[in-house]
Structure 1
Amino acid sequence: MRDRAAGAAVMEQVVRLHTQSPPRSALARALGAPPIGADTAPWFAGALGEREVGALLDRLPEGWSVFHAIPVGTRPDASGAVADVDHIVAGPAGVFVVNTKHHRGQRVWVGERAVLVAGQKQPYLRNSDLEASRVRGVLAQAGIVAPVTAVVALVGTKEVTVRQQPRRVMVLRAEGLVRWLTRRPAVLDAATTSAVARLFDDPATWRTVDSSSDTLERFAVIEREVRNAQLVRFGWGLAAALGVVAVALPLIPALTR
């Protein structure tokens, strides 16, 4: 399981939804229409967020183990996705179940019992606590005693206001995640940390993962299409702005008389 790419499960969902969507017309491509639909966009943003957090967690020093996109659900939800844990981190400071939330340019408010994004309450605390409970169950079944902490890592936020940290879930910006982890006091010896890592790395610990071998490549193609569409829209916007300037310039002398 150690080889699972960050965001792998969400990327699979993006590819599945994108495959089911009708292709863009030539006109839509020329105008830079987004290649992904409204139902796919949140999953796409989620995949980018998980990948960003995964890259940050790769900076953890020796003695830490990181696992991404760990499957924990048993049946698909209404969207066809099966629940997974974004990241599980095991090290001297214990086990951390990290839930990535990508909210580019948004304001986030954190209180003891709630997380609000752009003023809207989100179920992040409940969901993160549930994921941590699942991991605690896995450890208990294996006879391993280790503390498990739920973490919500915020990606791309414009502002984070922490009124009060929740008691059961740590909420922080993704940029500060590694520093926060490495500054936690050591509570596990090397033998226990290794046992936890072996347990999490064993595919038999989790449900069977039935994923396509080309998911990463297909997601990369979609990502390039999204980036190219953004460039096209930027080009059209720039052309429109230059057009306005071209029309306005001859009028300036008349307006200044």
Structure 2
Amino acid sequence: MSTTVREHTTPEQQSTEPVATPARGTATRADATALHAGRGTTYGMVRECLRVQAFARPRTRFSRFLGMSPLHPEARNAYEAALDELAVREELQKLGSEWTVLSGVPIGAHDDDVDHIVLGPGGIFSISVKHAADATVWVGGRSAVVGDQPVDFVRRAQSEGASAARSLSNAAGGPVQITPLLVVSRPASLTLRDPGVAVVAAKGLATWLRRQRRVHSPEAVAYYAMVAAEPDTWNLEPALVEDTLRDLQRFDHLRHDVEAAAVRRRALRVASGAGLLAALAGGRTAASSHLRALRPAGARAPR
């Protein structure tokens, strides 16, 4: 396996770095994420949720009035995991203009992809996102355990980083160092014991990246971003980009409907509670009036 190591050189030591000005229109901003549609796991839960959701029955007018969720029961787990995927994307969009984000970058010949490749002054990172679903996570060396289940998170992150480094190095015309980064989404707890890769919780990922010591000059970052944005660097199929964008738009509509239904249910519960309180208050008032009407003239009200 080719090595994918962390880069610890200073800008003055980087005499082999290429220097070039990016062509007009190349992706060099993280707030306008360059979306590369991969063939494997990136946004996989979005796709899985939409696949199962296709079997859901349309809601009736009455079910909409009641705020019934449009989610197919078997799509709920995939929906929650998809929200985790999009939360990482939203976290990366917090990075400044010095950073470039590529998502779903295809690597190898086995329908794999890197969830995200991030390029900036603090280095180039291949990000492998794993969903913990509120479970405890332990990572030490090349081992990882979620709950009580061993998983191969570290090995996969290292392998993806090595493959991404090979592709980018070939396209850049020289060795490019990429740091594999394991991002854990929604862990109940995260315990690290000298892990074989950098491990970060999804919440706070952007802050962690911005705090990394500068290892690339602005010119080098611009050059690597320009090379990484080329579809030929990753053998990217343009049709897949459109497919992924379409899936994300469909999921956004579904998310809107799910959240709107939840708001409707809460409003009905509040209205029902208010109505019950009003009915109880009205009942007490009516009972009190009835007792007063029955009380003999001159009788004192009970204390």
Pairwise CA distance, 1:101: 2.3
Mapped partners of 1:193, 1:221: distance in 2: 35
Distance change in 2, residues 1:200/1:46 (3 Å): farther
Pairwise CA distance, 1:22: 4.7
Using structure 1 for the length normalisation, give the TM-score: 0.72
Partner residue, 1:85: 114
Partner residue, 1:255: none
Mapped partners of 1:217, 1:52: distance in 2: 15
Larger Rg, first or second structure (1 or 2):
2
Task: Provide Cα deviations, 1:82-138, integer angstroms capped at 9, x if missing partner.
Answer: 533221111122210112223343222222222222222222112111211111111
Which residue identity is paired with 2:122? A
Cα RMSD of the aligned pairs, angstroms, is: 3.5
Structure 2 unaligned regions, length at least 5 = 1-26, 28-32, 277-303
Match of 1:35 among 41, 64, 71: 71
Mapped partners of 2:176, 2:202: distance in 1: 24
Q: Percent identity?
A: 26
Pairwise CA distance, 1:25: 7.7
Q: Does 1:159 align with 2:189?
A: yes
Number of residue pairs aligned between Structure 1 and Structure 2: 233
Partner residue, 1:170: 198
SS at match of 1:111: strand
Mapped partners of 2:140, 2:59: distance in 1: 46
Task: Provide Cα deviations, 1:165-199, integer angstroms capped at 9, x if missing partner.
Answer: 322x1112122322322222222233322221112
Mapped partners of 1:154, 1:25: distance in 2: 35
Matches within 5 A, 1:1-257: 2-4=33-35, 8=43, 10-19=45-54, 21-23=55-57, 32=68, 35-38=71-74, 40-72=75-107, 74=109, 82-142=111-171, 143-162=173-192, 164-167=193-196, 169-206=197-234, 207-208=236-237, 209-210=239-240, 211-212=242-243, 214-227=246-259
Distance change in 2, residues 1:86/1:42 (3 Å): farther
Pairwise CA distance, 1:8: 5.0
Partner residue, 2:288: none
C-alpha contact (below 8 Å) 2:34/2:100 kept by paired residues: no
Mapped partners of 1:199, 1:9: distance in 2: 26
Structure 1 unaligned regions, length at least 5 = 76-81, 244-257
